Amino acid sequence: MNILTFIIARLMPIWIVISAVLALWVPEVFRFLGSTTEWALALILFMMGLTLERKRLLKLARKPVRPLFGSLGKWVIAPLISIGLAVLFFGMSELSYGIIMAGIVPSGTSANLNTFIAKGDVSLSLAMSSFDTLVGPFIAPFLIKILIGSSVDFDYFSFWLKMICVVFLPLMVGISLQSIFPYLSKGIKPFIPVISSLALYTVVLGIVSNAKSVLLQDISILFPIAICVFLQVTIQMVCGYGYAKLLRYSEAECRAILFEVGICNSALAAVLANDTFGSMASVAAMANMICNLVIGSFIAAILASTKNSAYSSITIIENKGE
């Protein structure tokens, strides 16, 4: 199982690129997956719910200050940078809506893995991810209404309902099942990375295959999209780290917030952008996904090789608490 998990889940950036290339090469083979993207995303959130143990949520409730301040920074920094770059590169257009959407969704699950690799504070990362995912369905529609609503016909209630159905309900069902049937969830947990990864690749195949015709109309747009999302992810990470330093957080906590602010759930952004604004918006969000996975893995590897004296003490404390 470890080998399968490594091949399918840990090599995710490679498989996402392969999936996107396949979808562009033979779109007719994967076009039918376009109707399954919301279900695939709901499955990912359901799996995430199965991993959110009640004791972790109780810990967040008992000591909420640091995770809440971290999340506050994420919900301010990421949207501001996203709309600034989107307007700078593409004005107010379908492409810019996808860039903005990638910055106003909850943090991505790869942020937790990269925090672990980078010797960051994993408990803080998990607490922030949990909080972001719980409040995201209520904050994201509000931000979309403010940032984009005046420029496009936007149905606030439909968007909010979609986030509730795709994000909040699957997450809560997963948390509930994990609490009611803990042994069942423990049996499923070894398979969660593989199942979630396969569901993510389904999202990529479904969205990119249906966007090929739009992409071919102006293939030159891919280069400015790549530059824009590179800056988006990189600047968010730098600002997230700087924000944590201003709050006098430890080095391990700063590394956790770096990834939580820099890596958003771009798969969710792509699905929502596709349904709300069109296929070009989803392509921009998908480009952000590829970029944050690649940059995140690269930064995590660099930080893993640097000394972090706070990391060992955090590890000892967490082990004593188990």
Per-residue pLDDT of 158-176, as tens digits, reads 888 888 888 889 888 988 8
What is the structure's pLDDT at 314?
A: 44
88 falls in which pLDDT band (50, 70, 90)?
very high
Q: Report, as an integer, the average pLDDT of 141-155.
A: 78
pTM of the model: 0.81
Cβ contact 119:299 at 8 Å: no
Q: For 17-58, how does the pLDDT look when each residue is reduced to its tens digit (9 = 90+)?
A: 898 889 889 999 999 998 898 898 889 888 888 877 777 677
Residues across the chain: 322
315 falls in which pLDDT band (50, 70, 90)?
very low
Residues contacting 25, CB < 8 A, separation 6+: none
Classify residue 143 by burial, with Cβ atoms within 10 Å: 0-12, 13-18, 19+.
buried
Residues contacting 95, CB < 8 A, separation 6+: 86, 89, 221, 225, 280, 281, 283, 284
Is the per-residue pLDDT at 247 higher than 50?
yes
Q: For 57-86, how does the pLDDT look when each residue is reduced to its tens digit (9 = 90+)?
A: 777 678 789 899 999 999 999 999 999 999
Query: Which of 132-141, 143-152, 310-319 is the least confident region?
Result: 310-319
Q: For 287-306, how does the pLDDT look when each residue is reduced to its tens digit (9 = 90+)?
A: 998 888 889 888 988 898 88
Q: Report, as an integer, the average pLDDT of 123-152.
A: 84
Is the per-residue pLDDT at 137 higher than 70?
yes
What is the structure's pLDDT at 1?
A: 65
What is the structure's pLDDT at 308?
A: 64
What is the structure's pLDDT at 200?
A: 85
For residue 18, give both structure tokens.
């392969």
Residues contacting 180, CB < 8 A, separation 6+: none
Q: Is the dihedral of CA 194, 197, 199, 202 positive or negative?
A: negative
What is the structure's pLDDT at 322?
A: 41
Q: Is the dihedral of CA 273, 277, 281, 282 positive or negative?
A: positive
What is the structure's pLDDT at 214?
A: 74
Matching residue, tokens 């195949």: 205
Is the per-residue pLDDT at 237 higher than 90?
yes
153 falls in which pLDDT band (50, 70, 90)?
low
Q: Report, as an integer, the average pLDDT of 101-123.
A: 86
Is the per-residue pLDDT at 192 higher than 60?
yes
Higher pLDDT, 273 or 238: 238
Q: What percent of the chain has pLDDT over 70?
A: 92
Task: Please state, rounded to an integer, the average pLDDT across all residues of the chain.
Answer: 85
What is the structure's pLDDT at 313?
A: 45
∠ CA 254-258-263, nearest 5°, is 155
